[in-house]
Homo-oligomer: A and B are copies of this chain.
Amino acid sequence: MASIPTRTLGRGLSSSSSSSSSLLVSSQTASSAFKLSRPQFQPTPPPDDARTFSTTAPSSNLPSESNSFPPRKAITIDSINQFLRQADYAVRGRLAIRAEELRDRLEAGDTSLPFKKIINANIGNPQAMEQKPITFFRQVLSLVQYPELLNNEYTPRIFPSDAIQRASTLLKEIGSVGSYSQSQGVPYIRRSIANYINERDGFSSDPKDIYLAAGASSAVSYLLTTICQGPNTGVMIPVPQYPLYSATLTISNATPVPYELNEETQWGTDTKYIARVVKQSQIEGVKLKAMVVINPCNPTGSCLTRDEISDIITLAAKETFLIIADEVYQTNVYTGEFHSFKKILRELQRDYPGIYDHVELASLHSTSKGMVGECGQRGGYMELIGFDDDVLEQLYKLVSISLCPVVTGQVLTEVMVNPPKPGDESYPLYEQEYNTIYNNLRNRALRLFNAFQTMEGVSCQQPQGAMYLFPTISLPLNAIKEARRRNQEPDEFYCLQLLEETGVCVVPGSGFGQKDGTYHFRTTFLSPGDDYVQSIINFHNRFLEKFV
């Protein structure tokens, strides 16, 4: 457990005549390495005589003397955090908001729209797309929420014995899901996660390296808040990328350093090219601290090969940057195999002693994706490898300010990494549910991929993993002109038209980054049924006819 520095805010605060404000002084003296431009604010002393306080004076006197209050706002668009203002987050952007407006109209009985429902293919939210949760997971969550059930005579007639057993074990370790846990997460649950990683990789994992989080988004926010120190901090992000990264970096006032994925090689990475990005960033004076790798990839749906991963780790060892491996789709693999960065790192450390020991890796996982799909439960974790202890101490402090990740999300993480095993009462149902979800995802991916194959001017890489396809669309020049006339990106225009005509909501490629002059959109393949696929095809044909 990291220890927290003992310097405390407000220590020695002046009461009346002292000339220093400790609230500010303590910040200013904390680090000689970093220069603060904070103004030297001197606090006003409170009156010495408490009896002069006006707390009992009627406040009704005040307004009459103040008819001239200026009706200004304290918080205006020009005075707020301008880094936030600059940040973009397309997944829940204009398209999503328009989709909600249209849904409200449908629900209010509006029959003038050319569709009957909104299909939210803009966000990986499986249970909003009729995906059923895995029964064992929900049984355990139901039992830990209402521990009285464990002593109820009817419980064994409703819940299987292994769910009851698991809930009992977890409650014994946790106490109550209504208590704060350790900020890093319940120790027992961290041990379960370490066991999972051990079995997945064949290399041991240490529970002290595990940090539970409210979904991977929260872990990313903790990591980036810790490592970013102003605009000279560079973090490499893939293009296209999940916009959580660019948005969080922009809000942190750090510099996103893009590296393009190559669409022609199944959205692959080329380490020689990335090495040039690193060199270029050094020339530009950006201190490159980390590289984000999303594998399997959001939004492209591609999976990295073992060699690509090995090359990235080698470059990180050579050039000294943290690898942030977003591996939340690690079980969403439909072609080939998932290789964790942790496993490949441990292999390299084993095979080339001493060379890779200093590599820093953060690996993220989540209960929102995979066959779990429990987005609303906000479970997830990160494993931190190779971090300095004094850095971890600071990260722990940051995590502790938020007290703890939601405890039921931690419980869900435990059952995700430690599901029923062959021989357990719940195993047959678990296996059946898991396989059904997996097969549905794979089949829906292929169905949508095949549809894109038939569409003129659309090409798409084979679906390998994750929950998304990211096809290229060749837009007619007239469509591009019309988009510019409307002050929209061409792919945004396409996606808005798709939404208005079919109710299908996707995200334009411009929200993720794409090569100049190319246009894409990201769509999940979670939606059941064939209707929406056909309506995309029909829309596309109409669109081409209209603008050719």
Contacts and interface: CB of A to CB of B under 8 A. Distances in A.
Residue from A5, A354, A512 having most chain B Cβ neighbours under 10 A? A5
Interface stretch (A21-29, A449-457, A459-467): A21-29
Interface stretch (A108-116, A191-199, A286-294, A538-546): A286-294
Contacts of A60: 310
Given A82-B31, A255-B39, A390 B77 contact: yes
Interface in A196-222: 214-215, 217-218, 221
Contact of A56 (B128, B307, B511): B307
Contacts of A488: 6
B59 A311 contact: yes
A488 B7 CA distance: 9
A41 B255 contact: yes
A292 to B, nearest CB: 13
A257 to B, nearest CB: 6
A286 to B, nearest CB: 5
A229 B81 contact: yes
A236 to B, nearest CB: 10
Contacts of A331: none
Contacts of A243: 8-9
A71 interface: yes
A90 interface: yes
B75 A391 contact: yes
Contacts of A93: 4, 6, 8
A286 B358 contact: no
Contact of A62 (B154, B314, B321): B314
Contact of A94 (B3, B34, B123): B3
Interface in A353-406: 354-358, 360, 373-378, 386-388, 390-391, 394, 397-398, 400-406
Contacts of A316: 74
Contacts of A6: 93-94, 488-489, 492
Contacts of A31: 82, 85-86
Contacts of A471: none
B318 A69 contact: yes
A138 interface: yes
A428 interface: no
B357 A231 contact: no
Nearest to A285: B39
B26 A128 contact: no
Contact of A75 (B89, B258, B322): B322
Interface string A318-355: 10111000000000000000000000000010011011
Contact of A50 (B26, B41, B264, B289): B264
A87 interface: yes
Contacts of A268: 53, 55
A419 interface: no
Nearest to A513: B10
A317 B69 contact: yes
Nearest to A271: B54
Contacts of A128: 175-176, 179-180
Given A141-B146, A376-B178, A406-B376, A55 B265 contact: yes
18 contacts: A5-B94, A6-B94, A10-B511, A23-B257, A24-B256, A40-B284, A44-B259, A50-B262, A62-B314, A69-B317, A73-B388, A74-B316, A81-B226, A92-B400, A123-B180, A154-B154, A179-B376, A217-B402
The 7 closest A-B pairs by CB, nearest first: A10-B513, A59-B310, A142-B146, A376-B407, A34-B82, A92-B400, A38-B231
